Chains A and B, each alone.
Chain A
Amino acid sequence: MSYKAKFKVWRGEGGEGKLEDFTVEVNEGEVVLDIIHRLQATQAPDLAVRWNCKAGKCGSCSMEINGKPRLGCMTRMSTFAEDETITVTPMRTFPVIKDLVTDVSFNYQKAREIPSFTPPQGVRPGEYRMQQVDVERSQEFRKCIECFMCNNICHVIRDHEENKPAFAGPRFLMRIAELDMHPYDVADRQESAQEEHGLGYCNITKCCTEVCPEHIKITDNALIPMKERVVDRKYDPLVWLGNKIFRRPK
C-alpha cells in the first residue's frame, strides 16, 4: 500500500527561498509530518521543521499544506489523491528562520502586552467563589494549543504587515475575552481591547475559526461577544446611562 508522492517544499533561509520538488514514498496511515521526516532521512538532511508531540497537542508543527494552514502531524496523506502534488510552505504571516520553521515571537510579544488576571483588592486565594457555569464559557478558550494558525491566517496581518503593531490577532483577542468574562477579573478589558489591541480591525470573516485545530469557535464565542461588550462600553448610550443610574452588579 505504498506509493510515490510528489511534493513541493519551501526551502530557504529568511524570506528568500523557493519551492523544491521531491518524489517520496508514502505508506498507509502516514501524515504529512511523516513525509517531511522521510525527506529529512533520505533526501534533504538539512530540511528544517519544528515538531514535538506528533499528536496534535503541542502546536509546534503548524505549516501550510496546499495553501491552507494545518498541523503537519494531523494532516493525513489519505486526504490527498495519489497523483496530487502536495505543496508545503511555512506560515506566511511570520518571518522564516529556515525552511518550514518560522519565528513566532510576534505572538509572544502580543501575549505579554495583555495585563494578566487581576483579582479585586482584598480577595485572597482560597476565597474565590464560582460555579461551573460561571467559568464554562472561557474553558472552551483554554483548549488552545498555541499553534498560532489563527493569527497566521487572519487577513488583518497576513495581508497587511503594517497592521501588526496595532492588532493582537484572534489568539490574544480571545485571551482578552476570556479575562473579561472571568467573574473575578477587575481590569479594564473593553476599552483596551478596542483602543490598544485592535479588536475593531477584525471584520468577523471567521478564518480563525475555520483553521483552529481545537475547533474553538473563536469568532462566535470570543470575538463577537467581545465586540458586543465594547459596544456596551463605547457605543451604546442607553447602556452607558443605565450603568450610571443603576450600577448593577454583573
Chain B
Amino acid sequence: MSARQDEFERVAMCHMRSLLRVARRLTSGSSQAEDLVQECFLLAWRGFHQLREGTNTRAWLFRILFNAFYAQGRKRRRAPDTVSLTADVSAPVSSLSRRVPPLDESVEVARALAALQLDHRTVLLLAVVEGFTCSEIAEILGVPVGTVTSRLSRARQAMRMRLAPKAAGAAWAGKEQG
C-alpha cells in the first residue's frame, strides 16, 4: 500500500459512517446510499493529491458526496425530491428493529425527516446531525450562506409542523416572508 493510500485511509475513510448516514437519507434505498458513498470516495481519491493541508477533510468529502448525488440526479432525471415514507423509513428502521427496539420518538423523527423536501432535509442533516456551520454548509452545497440560513429556518419550521403542529412557529407566523 502506498503512503498516499495510507494517508487517504487515515484522513478520509474515517468519515465513512457520517457519509453513509447522510447518503442513506438522500437516496431511497441502502444500496443506492452505498453506491453513492463509494462514488464519493473514488472521486475523493482522484482529487486527493490536490487536497491542501489544513483543508476541512470532512466538509470536502461531503461536498464531493453532494456533487456526486446531484450529478446522479441529473443523469437519471428521477432523483427523489421527497422520498416516500415507506421507502425511506422502512430500510433503516426495519434493519435496526431487529437489533434494538427503537424509541417511538426516533421513528417519528425519521418519518418526519423523510417526508421533508430534499433541500430542507439536506440542511437539517448537515447542520443538526453532522454539526456543520452554515458557512461550511454553504461550501458543501455551493450556495450562498444566506440561502443556507433561510433554508434552515424553513426546514426547522417544517420539521416541527410534522412533529408537533401546535408548537410550530405560532410566534413567528409569517416571519419567513419578511
The reply to whether chain A is a binding partner of chain B is: no
Q: Interface residues, chain B, CB within 8 Å of chain A?
A: none
